[in-house]
Chain A
Amino acid sequence: QVNLVQSGAEVKKPGASVRVSCTASGYTFNTYAITWVRQAPGQGLEWMGWISVYNGDTRYAQKLQGRVTMTTDTSTSTAYMELRSLRSDDTAVYFCVRGHYGFLAEMDVWGKGTTVTVSS
């Protein structure tokens, strides 16, 4: 059974950093990309970027450039998303998603989400 298991909820102060992990199982990790999507409370879905598990290439949303880093560890089939200089409007549920190379909007397996709360 294909599954993405994410790390637990985080509470951070403004200016801090957060790292969310996402461990894949049930498929060959490097044959799919990992995309990160977030959803602020009561809001819609926002694409944050993606990483090629195969070669490490990344592409980030312009508004997050310079604050976000996506990485993978193929030895543990785990993807990571680090967001720095947190602000209150970064409060959201963060989803890792399996994406298809060549069809990156095709996201067929979603993690359950990690709630990140930024508050002083």
Chain B
Amino acid sequence: QAVLTQPPSASGTPGQRVTISCSGSSSNIESNYVYWYQQLPGTAPQLLIYRNNQRPSGVPGRFSGSKSGTSASLAISGLRSEDEADYYCAAWDDSLRVVFGGGTKLTVL
């Protein structure tokens, strides 16, 4: 069972804005950075958002991250068909380990 809680699924139509939540605790999200990973079908995950709200070079500005207290969110605006993927949140936990969310499968209708 994953330490961070994400909804198992999310969906939207092209052009829409969707958000994916990630809930944790004082020992992980509240006290450490949050990261988001995108896993396209059949591929390895890739870093999408780092240190709560920073985008690596090459990641479109349509993707944004935020954090408040023990929760974090990933927002995708102007949804595109190629955004259909699994999304995972992650954070360092003060018990000296990396913890992941269970993943959210995003479907573009």
Contact = CB atoms under 8 A, between A and B. Distances in A.
B103 A111 contact: no
A105 B91 contact: yes
A28 to B, nearest CB: 19
Contacts of B51: 103, 106
A46 interface: yes
Summarize B's interface: helix, strand, loop or mixed.
strand
Given A95-B44, A107-B47, 15 more contacts: A37-B45, A44-B2, A45-B103, A59-B96, A61-B97, A62-B97, A103-B50, A103-B51, A105-B32, A105-B35, A106-B47, A108-B47, A108-B50, A110-B45, A111-B44
Interface of B: 2, 32-33, 35, 37, 43-47, 50-51, 56, 88, 90-92, 96-103
Interface of A: 35, 37, 44-47, 50, 59, 61-62, 95, 103-108, 110-113
